[in-house]
């Protein structure tokens, strides 16, 4: 019993000063471990008389239970302070300024905004492959081989790959317009779709050019569709996207798959500069006929715009290469 009282005193003192997980573990080993002091007493009980065994045994067991309880409690507190993994995770103390709660990539945010606006105007979302055939990327869009218009799109050709169906070469799509063709082959008008996706251009990169970027294509085919419908949808979209009162300019332009073709410019309030944001036009008769849509009965408008460009204008991002830099200082701002 004397020995027990001594041990109790020792442990109490040790527990007072123990401030770390390691220190507490040392105490546990020194007293409760296999060759610990209290364990030794409990083991030696068998040599005592029945009377002594009962008395000392009860006291020793009680002390052991108490020590275990105090050790457990202390440990939880210490673990909370050290930021380790405790049983009670609410004890974890995480310094707020050191914890980075994830955010969305600006292209994700802008992509979602674009989809939301168009779906609210009854457009559906369609998709097509990134590795495309020459037929869908060019021929079906009224851009035959050797036509000078092919030079509008710097192309990555896929080596020694041919599409089994039409024997045409594969390439990385240079725009999302091939999705127009793929969709029209499978659906009867009327319809209105957007087709968001990644596109590829074989060109030198600089602050406004990347070899891969994103576009959103638009296509609406119906009876009596005119440029006026295109103008309304485009102005509605950009006004809602930028949440500003914008000025618009529709400039005549040329794309082989539309006639007439236009380029859309916007001007933000208080700004001097017109910004080119979209190519568009009325779907070319030859494109409609290629997918067996009667161009006497049906008309359509189409448009295509760069997603990075819209994000750059909206957030004042100076360099397109930042989107793919993987630089957290950039991403964390959104
Ligand atoms: N595909 C064209 C481009 O990449 C954009 C466009 C789409 C133009 C639809 C007119 C109609 O430049």
State whether the beta carbon of 86 lies less than 6 angstroms from ligand 1. no
DSSP letter, residue 223: T
pTM, two decimal places: 0.71
Mean pLDDT of the region 165-181: 87
Choose the CATH number for 108-331 among 3.30.930.10, 3.40.50.1860, 3.90.1300.10, 3.20.20.140. Answer: 3.30.930.10
For the chain, domain boundaries: 2-99, 108-331
Q: Is the CB of 304 under 6 A from ligand 1?
A: yes
Mean pLDDT of the region 182-211: 96
> What's the pLDDT score for residue 52?
85
**Residue 259 is assigned to a ligand binding site:** yes
Mean predicted confidence (pLDDT) in 69-82:
78
Q: Is 258 in the pocket of ligand 1 (CB under 6 A)?
A: yes
Among residues 130, 142, 230, the alpha carbon closest in space to that of 171 is found at 130
Please choose from 149, 152, 255 the residue to mutate so as to test ligand 1's pocket, defined by most ligand atoms within 8 A of CB: 255
Helix (H, G, I), strand (E, B) or coil at 160: strand
Residue 281 near ligand 1, beta carbon < 6 Å:
yes
Alpha carbon separation from 280 to 258, 293, 330 (Å, rounded): 7, 20, 32
Give every CB contact of residue 324 below 8 A, 6+ residues apart in sequence. Answer: 210, 212
**What token pair was written down for 172?**
């990385």
Distance 35 CA to ligand 1 centre (A): 81
DSSP state of 91: G
At residue 330, the 3 state secondary structure works out as helix
Give the catalytic positions in this structure: 153, 175, 201, 215, 258, 302
């Amino acid at each position: 019993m004397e020995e027990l009282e001594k041990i109790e005193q020792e442990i109490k003192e040790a527990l007072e000063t123990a401030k770390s997980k390691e220190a507490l573990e040392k105490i546990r080993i020194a007293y409760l471990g296999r060759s610990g002091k209290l364990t030794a007493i409990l083991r030696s009980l068998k040599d005592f008389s029945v009377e002594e065994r009962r008395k000392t045994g009860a006291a020793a067991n009680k002390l052991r239970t108490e020590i275990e309880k105090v050790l457990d409690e202390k440990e939880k507190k210490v673990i909370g302070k050290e930021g380790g993994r405790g049983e009670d995770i609410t004890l974890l103390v995480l310094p707020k300024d050191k914890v980075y709660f994830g955010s969305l990539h600006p292209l994700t945010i802008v992509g979602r905004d674009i989809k939301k606006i168009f779906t609210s105007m009854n457009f559906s979302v369609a998709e097509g492959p990134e590795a495309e055939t020459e037929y869908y990327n060019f021929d079906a869009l009224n851009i035959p081989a050797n036509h000078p218009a092919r030079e509008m799109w710097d192309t990555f050709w896929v080596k020694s790959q041919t599409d089994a169906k039409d024997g045409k070469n594969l390439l990385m799509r240079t725009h999302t317009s091939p999705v127009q063709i793929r969709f029209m082959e499978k659906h009867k008008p009327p319809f209105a779709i957007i087709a968001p996706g990644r596109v590829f251009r074989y060109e030198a990169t600089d602050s406004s050019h990347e070899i891969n970027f994103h576009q959103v294509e638009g296509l609406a085919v119906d009876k009596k569709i005119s440029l006026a419908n295109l103008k309304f949808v485009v102005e509605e979209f950009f006004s809602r996207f930028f949440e500003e009162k914008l000025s618009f300019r529709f400039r005549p332009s040329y794309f082989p798959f539309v006639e007439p073709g236009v380029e859309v410019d916007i001007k933000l309030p208080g700004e001097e500069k017109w910004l080119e944001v979209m190519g568009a036009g009325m779907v070319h008769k030859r494109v409609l006929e290629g997918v067996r849509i009667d161009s006497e009965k049906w008309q359509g408008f189409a448009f295509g715009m760069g997603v990075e460009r819209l994000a750059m204008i909206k957030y004042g991002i100076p360099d397109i290469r930042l989107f793919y830099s993987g630089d957290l200082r950039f991403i964390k701002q959104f």
